[in-house]
Amino acid sequence: MAGNAERNPVKLPPWWTLDPVAEFRIGPRAFPGRIWTASGCFAYGLSGHDIASSEFDSPYTGLGAVVTKTVTPAPRSGNPMPRLCELPHGALNSIGLENVGYERFLQETLPELERRGVPTVVSLAATRPDEFGEMCEALQSTAAGYEHWHGVEINLSCPNVAEGGHDFGRNPETVARCVAVSREALPDRALLAKLTPNVTDVAELAAAAAEAGADAISVINTVIGLEVDLESGLPVLPRRYGGYSGPGILPIGLAKTDEIVQKTGLPVVGVGGIRTYQDALKYFALGAVAVQVGTAQMEDPFAAARVARDLTRA
């Protein structure tokens, strides 16, 4: 590793003045850094404590937050296998939000995250707006005194049963309702709305979320994609379509981040395609206040820690 560092020295641009591992605020909370892991890409945030590295004390070194695997009102077993297809410039997944359900998460997972001192943002998904409020109320009731639970990221790219199965994130009014009921239950935690890129005007959705009480916007979620098995002539994934992530979506994430910042001025946490400190710098150059490392974190549990280290001036 040292040899690679010598051959490829970090060269930060002169405009970069932020300290990525210094405390900063989103809404009512102070986060310990600007480099986070993305939801679903570091499990619930408990799986890295026994991993060794010659470069880092742990995969949590320098992290400002771990966004948990998404939690839903009831446990979910997920979609049929296969669920993940690796591609030349990323991955296509159809996990189906497999998770233990929020009751077990509150009883077992969140207390353990707090005990281990993991800076945590809880990702939530639901099929009706009121379910977001109910889960946030339960979170607040259970973890009101927790020091390391910083907030909630509501996943607004899941199907809305009440409106015919369309994504929550496609309708500004529904986005606003989901955010409003969550905000009411979270008086002292940061509230982020994670938006889909699969829309024409993401800034309109961001504005609706902010007006309803969101402190920041996480953008983007995965892009709809499909891969074909040429031997069978059929889609690789049983459900045909999946969420495409990885380096191939970096330009899309940058464009959506720029659109929201330019049109609304809202705080944005940039997500999509980040593997290196250079990728993260592009988001920060466009006005993002923090970034999340996703697919790269699944490939290398020290990816986010490496980005944080490389962005830190000596």
Mind telling me the catalytic residues?
Answer: 158
Instruction: Label each residue of 62-86 as H, E or C.
Output: CCCEEECCCECCCCECCCCCCCEEE
Instruction: Please measure the distance between the N-terminal and C-terminal CA atoms of the chain and give it in whole angstroms.
Output: 18
- The DSSP letter of residue 297 is H
DSSP, residue by residue, 72-123 = -SS-B--PPSP-EEEETTEEEE-----B--HHHIIIIIHHHHHHTT--EEEE
d(CA 59, CA 118): 11
Q: Tokens standing for 292?
A: 């999340």
Find, among 271, 235, 193, the residue nearest to 94 by Cα: 235
**Phi, psi dihedral angles at 89 (to 5 degrees):** -125, 30
Q: In what order do the strands lie in the sheet with 84-87?
A: 84-87, 90-93, 242-245, 223-225
